[in-house]
Structure formats: structure tokens, C-alpha cells
Amino acid sequence: MPDRYAPLRVLVVEDHAFQRIAAEELVRQLGAYRVRCAASGREASAILATEPFDVVLCDIEMPDGNGPELIADLHQRHERAFAGVPPVWVWMTALADDILDSHRDLARELGIRHVYALRKPLAADTLEDILEDALTRNPSAEAMAASRVMAGDDDLLAAVRTGDALSIVFQPQFDIATGRLAGAEALCRWRHPTLGLIRPDLFIARLEALDAAEPVFLLGVQRCLDVQQRLAAHGVAVPLGINGSAQTLCRHGLLETFDAMVAASGVPRERLTIELTEGFPVNDPLALSVTLNRLRLLGYGVAIDDFGVGIATLKLLADLPFTQIKLDRSFVGNVDGHGQRAVICRNVIGLARDLGLECVAEGVETEAQRAALLALGCGIGQGYLWSPPLAADAFVNDALARAVRPPA
Ligand code: C2E
Ligand code: CA
Ligand code: CA
């Protein structure tokens, strides 16, 4: 049983006994054993005042103190509302999206910065991503998790060879002005048998160093093509982004393998964008230029990822044929402020516009950031404000539900 989430303290607030047990069971299955339950908003409010929690999963409709009443009650208690720092808050409901949206805002007003909204029944993959997020938000819990043994190279190479333990999730992207679904990014996850879910920042760089990242790229491609085919069966098209480093993309024969997979699938090439991730310094700029130009000529999109954090990014931007800039979340996090990062953020958005490139803001978490990005003319946003990364099935269902199709 993975114990990565063992340090997390989780409170489940749910009036319906069966659903409460199901949620508690799911949390435990994911390896977070420190779970408490409350059957009403009133009970939850008392528990939150006396015990610290990292994550609260809260039902919206409860006869004895519902979600909004609980928030109002916590509001009244001011700084005495939480025994610890405000937890990551997860609303659970079977109701419509707009209800979830308004509840998200309610919790944010209480000073809870990280609010998610999940549809019932809860999906294990999505919940796991949220636990992972809570872990990184909680320094003490993260320190405990980090002190556990990290997976070794043998485990990693075996996982990549068989592919069984690797999965690809999809984080939706939205048109900032209209709120329409505008695309998604494919992100890799590794489910280790004892360590639990491991995020890519912890193993992709190591794979690159071992020169073994190509299978992960091709797995991402295959999953994107599967998703595209499922959407196309319903007449829906959503552009998808796949991450790849310069080292992987320039490997001999890789581009041919990739393009052959796409051709065999029947998916139009313009529905895929390759995101060039931080593989800096670029060892062979000429090979990279040839590869990216070939991708463009074939009809694929090419994005420069994490723009603003690498050293060579301005030069790369000047020299290479990008179609999209992905603005790094460390800048986006400050877009609504007055500091230097806000100035840089504004200028990068202007730069993208002047160069005729699509601009995608990463890590958008608050309504204030969204409003600032809208005012600056940034076209597309991605982040927890809209959605965490979703398992393929959940993403396809969500995309189909949102798709505007011509009337039959
Ligand atoms: P990235 O390409 O910048 O991906 C965005 C990362 O931001 C993802 O982390 C995503 O889960 C996270 N994120 C999304 N919204 C928010 C938000 O609102 N707030 C915050 N704080 N974070 C948010 P993830 O999945 O852990 O990926 C980390 C990095 O690993 C990626 O950064 C990408 O560079 C790399 N990566 C992921 N999948 C692959 C892959 O299949 N191949 C390669 N080569 N690299 C990958
Ligand atoms: Ca990316
Ligand atoms: Ca990025």
C-alpha cells in the first residue's frame, strides 16, 4: 500500500452514510489513513476549530448545515475557524457546473486559496492529484514524504519498459474571455507500488539523464491519439499538447515514428502541439531547429514551455518557429500584483501578441489572476481555477459535455 499520503490529515464531510463511507474508503485506498468524518456542516465546523486538517472533502447538499452554511459559520469565527492553516478545500456534488463555480468563490472568500470542485462519484485519479497538491502545500507533510526512500533507477527503468505503471492525465485549457474549452495538456504520472503516485518533475529529468525518456513521449502521443479518436467519434475536436525535451525530440528516428503513429490514427496533425520543455542548455541548436521546423512543416503546433524560467528562452524564441508561448506559472502567480514579475508577465503577453503567437498562461489559480490575464489580452489559461489534470475518461466525458455541437 503506498504511504506517500500517510502524513495528510483529511476530513470528509458528508451526510449520506453510504457516500461518506465510500469517500473515506477511497481516501484510505490512496494511502491517506488519517481520515476523520463528519455527518453535517455543524459537526465539521466544531472539528475544524479544534483539529488541523490538510484536506477537507465537503458535500454541498446536507440537511443539517449545508456547504454554504458551513462556510458562513467558519467566516463568523474568523481566525478561530481553523485549528491549523486553512486546508485545501474540495467541494463534492452531483449538481451542475455553475453551482460548483459559485461554491468555489465562496470558499475563496474565506481565505482558502486552494479550492477544488469534484463531481460525484469521486474519481480516484483526480483525488490523488489533489492529495499530491495538498502534500506540496504542506511543508511538514512534504518533508515527511520526501524523507521516505525515493524510487531507484531500476524501478524507474522497469516502469518505463513495461509502461504499466505509467499513466497520462489531461489538464483542460480554457479561452479566458469566453470560458470555452480550448485545449488540454497531456501530463505523465507514475504509480509506484509502494511510494504511490509520483509526479513527473521527480523522474523525467532522471529519465533524460539515463537517456530513456523516449517511451514516455510515445506513450503520451498514443494516449493523445486515443483521446482524439474518441472525441472525433462525436464530432468534437480539442487541440492537445504533449511535452518533449530537445534531447528526446532530436533522437534519431523519433520524429518519423511519431508522425507515422499520427498518420495511422487518422487524427489531423494540427490537433497536436509539441511543448518543448526545459531541456536547457540545448546541446545541439541546429538539430533542434531542424526538428522543430520539420514539425511545423508537417502541420504540428510547437510551443515553448515554461517561458521565462530558462536562460536561453529569448534566443530560442528568436531562432525557432514556435506557434505558442506557455507562460510559466511563477509569473502567472503574480500577474495581478505590482512587482517585477507582474511587469514581466504583461510584457511577455504583449510579446506573444506582437509575434502572432498563441499565449497560454499556466497555473492560473484565482479569479483575480484570470481577470488580470483577460485585461492583458492573454488568450488561453490552464490551472486549478478551472480544473486539475483529469484521467482520460473523465477528460473525454467533460469535453463532450462542454462541446457545442450543431443541433441535430
Ligand atoms: P509543465 O509542462 O509546466 O506542466 C504544468 C504543471 O503545472 C503540471 O505539473 C500541472 O499539474 C501543474 N499545474 C497545473 N495547474 C496548476 C495550478 O493551478 N497551480 C499549480 N501550482 N500547478 C499547476 P506536473 O504534472 O507535476 O508536471 C510537471 C512537469 O513535468 C511539467 O511541467 C512538464 O515539464 C513535465 N512533464 C509532465 N509530463 C511529461 C511528459 O509526459 N513528458 C515530459 N518530457 N515531461 C513531462
Ligand atoms: Ca508543458
Ligand atoms: Ca510549463
β-strand partners of 358: 324
For atom 44 of ligand 1, which residue has the closest CA?
A: 244
Distance 144 CA to ligand 2 centre (A): 28
88 three-state secondary structure:
strand
Mapping DSSP onto H, E and C, the string for 18-39 reads: HHHHHHHHHHHHCCCCEEEEEC
> Do 245 and 303 meet the contact criterion of CB atoms below 8 Å apart?
no
Q: Given this model, what pLDDT does residue 229 score?
A: 98
Out of 2-6, 164-168, 229-233, the most confident range is: 229-233
State pTM to two decimals.
0.74
The bridge status of strand 196-198 relative to strand 55-59 is unpaired
Q: Given this model, what pLDDT does residue 147 score?
A: 44
pLDDT band at 312 (very low <50, low <70, confident <90, very high): low
Cα dihedral 265, 305, 199, 30 sign: negative
pLDDT band at 379 (very low <50, low <70, confident <90, very high): very high
Distance 301 CA to ligand 3 centre (A): 16
| pLDDT tens-place string over residues 265-309 | 999 999 999 999 866 567 788 899 999 999 999 999 999 998 877
| pLDDT tens-place string over residues 188-240 | 999 888 777 788 877 888 888 888 999 999 999 999 999 999 999 999 999 99
For atom 25 of ligand 1, which residue has the closest CA?
A: 187
In this structure, which amino acid lies at residue 82?
A: F
Ligand 1 neighbours (beta carbon < 6 A): 171, 187-188, 199-201, 204, 213, 216-217, 220, 243-245, 277, 305-306, 329, 362-365, 382-384, 389
Q: Around ion ligand 3, which residues have CB less than 5 A away?
A: 305-306, 326, 362
Distance CA 294, CA 14 (A): 54
Mean pLDDT of the chain: 87
Q: Which three cell numbers stand for residue 294?
A: 520539420
284 three-state secondary structure:
coil
Distance 143 CA to ligand 2 centre (A): 26
Going by C-alpha positions, the residue among 99, 95, 115 that lies closest to residue 107 is 115
